[in-house]
Structure 1
Amino acid sequence: MAARRFSDEPAFVLHRYDWSETSLIVEVFTRNHGRIALVAKGAKRPTSSFRPILLPLQPLQLAFGGDAEIRSLKSAEWQGGHVMPTGDALLSGYYLNELLLTLLARDDPHPQLFEIYARVVQVIASEHGEVLQAALRTWELLLLREIGLLPQLDRQTLTLGALEGATRYTLVPEGGLRQAQNEERGALTGAQWTSLQAAIHNDAPFTTTLRACAEMMAELKPQLRQLLHYHCGVKTLRSRQMMMDIQAL
């Protein structure tokens, strides 16, 4: 039986590493197949057509084939749209990719998440740096929701009781959403959590969540960071440590 072949598949490169003296293993996030691993034979040669194409945060269209865990990349075409981000924007892109590599299983399609990722990459690559942090919080929320790690945000997790609008609640990795203690900082009000719940379940979740996050970024950032670190099994993600190291120079 001939090996299956797929073509015209929208994708982004998440990570790449050496496979041999001339070839690479490329982890990609595809629209219809999820996260997959491909071998790009000869990609390290100066004359390879893959060499200038297989870059992170660039919209690509791929053709690949095979039935093994690591499939063979047949072709890759850049779809244009924006230049390669630099500086803080590039580090933010690495952060998106690290979360996908850590939390998303291979061969698990998430077409809606792919479209959201593409929207966030557009923000990162644009000159609108004022919305970058809101876009990152939006990505974190929608990623957690898509893979089933985000509790319902308009109910207390343990009791399923409704939230009170003016009461403050905190997101605890082991216990979900619960009423904040007096000494806890950075908690959000019941009204804020409820607005986030409505935003992420809107028919246009990226836009509505982006607007909601822009109004509560300072409080939301530590809440989501704690939850993500818990599920990633790390104290600090590599991309965040890289950013802190650069800022300390």
Structure 2
Amino acid sequence: MATRRIADEPAFILHSYDWSESSLILECFTRHHGRVALVAKGAKKPTSNFRPVLLPLQPLRLGWTWGGEVGQGEIHALKGAEWVGGHVMPVGDALLSGLYLNELLMRLLAREDTHAPLFDLYAGVVRVLGSGEHGEALEPVLRAFELLLLREIGLLPALDTETATLAPLADASRYTLLAEGGLRAATPDDRAALSGAQWQALQRSLDEDGAASYGAVLRVVAGRGFAAAAELKAQLRALLQYHCGSPLLRTRQLMMDLQSL
């Protein structure tokens, strides 16, 4: 079978692990080929040209040989890697947030399933994390990405109707988003819920065209009138964890451990 060569592909490294004494397996998120696994032979050697380049949360251009059938989720051979530049490595809470996004993509995206709009969104968020433009407001950035990620992969129900009945939401009533049941009227036992007006505002922002959707969602979540950001966080995290499966996300556990110190 003929070997296919991929060159100059926009990419980010989501995760890497040892393959041998001198090589690495890289889990990469690429714009045109989705999540792919690449073996970087000799990347751990001090003399390797790959060594200073293969870092997470940095924009790269990768080249590799693609053997076998496309879509089979095989591991391919890395042939070239170039740092694109543009921002420095995030630090502190921004670094943890970036690693959290990487883990979400690792757990939720199938290999070789293309998501170009999601790649562009991720690249923009990573750029914000590295530049410090988020200031102290990391939470709205993460909530906007979570919402758009869930929508992109088909795991977010419509946020302007009750999922089971398709009844429109009442502005003043409260509703909760459940992993198994979607959006439904909140009960006194529900710890987290938002008003119908808040859910509808989120849906309108998600309905914006293309790249404008992220900015619209971010404005809603970060807006002064959105007083329930913590409740939205709890509901989205429960939904994401449900679809990621067990165990608990490692980055989430690390954040919880740090907060308890």
TM-score range, shorter chain: over 0.9
Aligned to 2:56: 56
Deviations 1:61-90 (A, max 9, x none): 111112240011110111111111122111
Q: What runs of 5+ residues in structure 1 fail to find an aligned partner?
A: none
Asked if 1:195 is matched to 2:201, the reply is yes
Give me the TM-score of the superposition, normalised by structure 1: 0.96
Instruction: Give, in whole Å, the separation in 2 of the partners of 1:186 and 1:248.
Output: 22
4+ residue runs of structure 1 moved beyond 6 angstroms? none
Residue 240 of structure 2 corresponds to residue 225 of structure 1: no
The match for 2:217 is 209
CA distance in 2, matches of 1:150, 1:82: 31
Offset, 1:235? 6.0
User: Do 1:83 and 1:125's aligned partners in 2 also have CA atoms closer than 8 Å?
Assistant: yes
Using the alignment, how far apart are the partners of 1:3 and 1:236 within structure 2?
A: 39
Matches within 5 A, 1:27-176: 27-68=27-68, 69-127=74-132, 128-176=134-182
The CA deviation string for residues 213-248 of structure 1, in whole angstroms up to 9 with x for no partner, is 113322210010111111111363110111222233
CA distance 1:121–1:246, change in 2 (3 Å): same
Counterpart code for 1:221: K
Q: Could you tell me how far apart the structure 1 residues matched to 2:215 and 2:205 are? A: 8
For this pair of structures, how many residues does the alignment match?
249
In structure 2, C-alpha distance between the alignment counterparts of 1:147 and 1:214, rounded to whole Å: 24
Matches within 5 A, 1:3-14: 3-14=3-14
Structure 2 CA distance for aligned equivalents of residues 202 and 49 of structure 1? 43
CA contact (8 A) 1:123 1:131 kept: no
Give yes or no for contact 1:82–1:122 (8 Å, CA) kept in 2.
Answer: yes
CA distance in 1 between partners of 2:135 and 2:257 (Å): 21
Letter in 2 for 1:15: H
Residues of 1 paired with 2:164 and 2:260: CA distance? 41
1:238 equivalenced with 2:250 (yes/no): yes
Contact 1:12-1:29 within 8 A present in 2 as well: yes
Q: Structure 2 regions of 5+ residues with no counterpart?
A: 69-73
Deviates more, 1:216-225 or 1:46-55: 216-225
CA contact (8 A) 2:30 2:119 kept: yes
CA RMSD of superposed structures (Å): 1.2
Tell whether the 8 Å contact from 1:140 to 1:224 is kept in structure 2 after alignment. yes
TM-score w.r.t. structure 2 length?
0.92
Q: Identity over the aligned pairs, expressed in percent?
A: 64
Q: Secondary structure at the match of 1:208?
A: helix
> Contact 1:123 / 1:132 at 8 angstroms: preserved in 2?
no
Q: Corresponding residue for 2:71?
A: none
